[in-house]
Structure 1
């Protein structure tokens, strides 16, 4: 295989350099805030296996750009709430960093959970099981 021009790790680093990253303890403090929407980008099997942040909205990674775009036939109303702060997350923060950077490029303001769901429970975050 030919060497890639840009590695996945480099894409993540570039995204992280230009987005808002929320540390896990700060995100845990936001769980009860009705103005914060946690958006879980993980695969449904990941959510089933390890649980999820209570009240989080599940948006498969491959649909994020389409679900936030009001001109898309796939638009989801939850993303039309202008008074909400959106915090995207995945398992380790890689997918959510790239997604958040892309959404910000589109004009959709969002942040992401820096370490992802991987440290959530260990740092005292509530977990809901399906």
Structure 2
């Protein structure tokens, strides 16, 4: 993303980009995400790569979609969508390891019309630090 400053375009640093995309939606804390998933109000989507899931475990019930497949799997109109991609009104909470990549992913989902997409402040590490459920990958 670049910002126009007259006739030339200025690059945007990642910190500014994160601030801008996060201003476009309300992020959620771990406890809120847990409650929304528990009551069926939100779909948790873990975008961490396999090595992190194997090292740290997974959130029970979270849908695993690695970042490079996210848009294809969650676009309700896409030919490669997952069965959970039921419509544009789906409340999705994207979870990465620490809450950075998930912000950019949520913004990308907004561009696909998934206007209720958000991300978890602090990512999986915040979830785990709150003592919320985690299970081993093979468990």
| TM-score under structure 1 length normalisation | 0.86
2:36 aligns with 30
Which structure is higher in RCO with an 8 Å CA cutoff and minimum separation 6?
1
Q: 1:107 aligns with which of 84, 107, 113?
A: 113
2:61 aligns with 55
Instruction: Tell me if the contact between 2:76 and 2:88 (Cα under 8 Å) persists in the aligned partners.
Output: no
- Consecutive unaligned residues of structure 2, counting only runs of 5 or more, are 1-9
Instruction: Tell me if the contact between 1:19 and 1:97 (Cα under 8 Å) persists in the aligned partners.
Output: no
Aligned length: 127
| TM-score under structure 2 length normalisation | 0.81
* 1:33-76 Cα shifts (integer Å, max 9, x gaps): 22321000110111111011110000111111111224433221
Could you say what the CA RMSD is over the residues aligned between the two structures, in angstroms?
1.9
Instruction: After superposing the two structures, state which structure 1 stretch, 103-112 or 22-31, moved more.
Output: 22-31
Structure whose alpha-carbon radius of gyration is higher: 2
Instruction: Tell me if the contact between 1:35 and 1:83 (Cα under 8 Å) persists in the aligned partners.
Output: no
Q: Are 1:119 and 2:126 matched, yes or no?
A: yes
- Consecutive unaligned residues of structure 1, counting only runs of 5 or more, are none
